[in-house]
Amino acid sequence: MGCWKTEGGGKGQSNSGQHVELLRSKVERAAQLDVSFQNLQYIDLSYFDLQGVNLRNADLQGANLWGINLSDAYLQGANLSDADLDGADLSCAHLGENEANRVVLHRAKLSYATLRELDLHGFDLMGLDLSNTDLNGTNLRNALLRGTDLRGADLSTAQLYGPELRGAILYSHERFSDWPKHAYQGKSTQKRLASAKPGLIQERTWPIQREEYTM
């Protein structure tokens, strides 16, 4: 699976105020709308189909985005604080430099998404599909990653200081020792990760005990 290219790259539409009114009128399908830089605080967009929508720098604080389709959407700089993205489809979406305090990502689909420079430290990401995501520069310190699918994810420059890795799913050939040392910090952490053995795909989970990653 890859990502479809949306025409216009989420750019080029004007009349964003009119597009906001379309959203608020609960249009069933609003794909390709441009609502960048708009105030959408606490809006209810649950189960909307917004594939490819331009939400760059939009204010979505407290928005109800339950089950929304935001695949291929452009969300760079959007304020997602307190937003509920439970069950949302964010596959192939473009995020970065977002405010995301207390955002709910339970059951969200994030495969092939771009999540660069996000601050996800301490987040509960257990069981999420992060396969083939771009996590360069993302802060994952102390994130909960049990059952998280990280197969094919780009973690080259991700910040991984003492995350909970028990049960994280990787390809059987992947090892933390293959990742650049600047992807995680702390000599003791590097020593333990370099000696870790990878789990098998789906059949076995990461075999390191929780207390071994206690800092």
pLDDT tens sequence across 96-144: 889 998 999 999 999 999 999 899 999 999 999 999 999 999 999 989 9
Please compute, for residue 61, the number of CA atoms within 13 A of its CA located in the half-sphere on the CB side: 7
* Residue among 141, 104, 147 at smallest CA distance from 128: 147
What pLDDT, on a 0 to 100 scale, did the predictor assign at position 156?
A: 86
Work out the pLDDT band at 171, boundaries 50, 70, 90: confident
Check if the beta carbon of residue 86 is closer than 8 Å to that of residue 108. Answer: yes
Task: Kindly tell me if the per-residue pLDDT of 4 is higher than 60.
Answer: no
Of 45-54, 111-120, 152-161, the range with the lowest mean pLDDT is 152-161
Give just the sign of the alpha carbon dihedral 165, 169, 174, 180: negative
pTM of the full structure = 0.74
Q: Which two tokens stand for residue 26?
A: 């609960």
pLDDT at residue number 41: 95
What confidence category does residue 167 fall into, taking pLDDT thresholds of 50, 70 and 90?
A: confident
**Residue 9 pLDDT greater than 70, yes or no:** no
Question: In which band, very low, low, confident or very high, does the pLDDT at 50 lie, cut at 50, 70 and 90?
Answer: very high
> According to the model, what pLDDT value does residue 190 have?
47
Query: Which of 208 and 10 is assigned the larger pLDDT?
Result: 10
- Percent of the chain exceeding pLDDT 70 equals 62
Contacts of 178 (CB under 8 A, 6+ apart): none
Helices (H), the chain: 16-24, 187-194
Summarize pLDDT for 174-191 with one digit per residue, the tens. Answer: 555 445 444 444 444 444
pLDDT reported for residue 82: 96
Highest average pLDDT, of 33-37, 47-51, 116-120, 129-133, comes from 129-133
Provide long-range contacts, Cβ within 8 A and 24+ apart, for 195-204. Answer: 198/170, 198/171, 198/172, 198/173, 198/174, 199/168, 199/169, 199/170, 199/172, 200/172, 201/151, 201/169, 201/170, 201/171, 201/172, 202/169
Backbone angles phi, psi at 99, to 5 degrees: -80, 120
Q: What is the pLDDT of residues 60-107, one digit of tens each?
A: 999 999 999 999 999 999 999 999 999 999 999 999 889 998 999 999
What pLDDT, on a 0 to 100 scale, did the predictor assign at position 19? Answer: 59
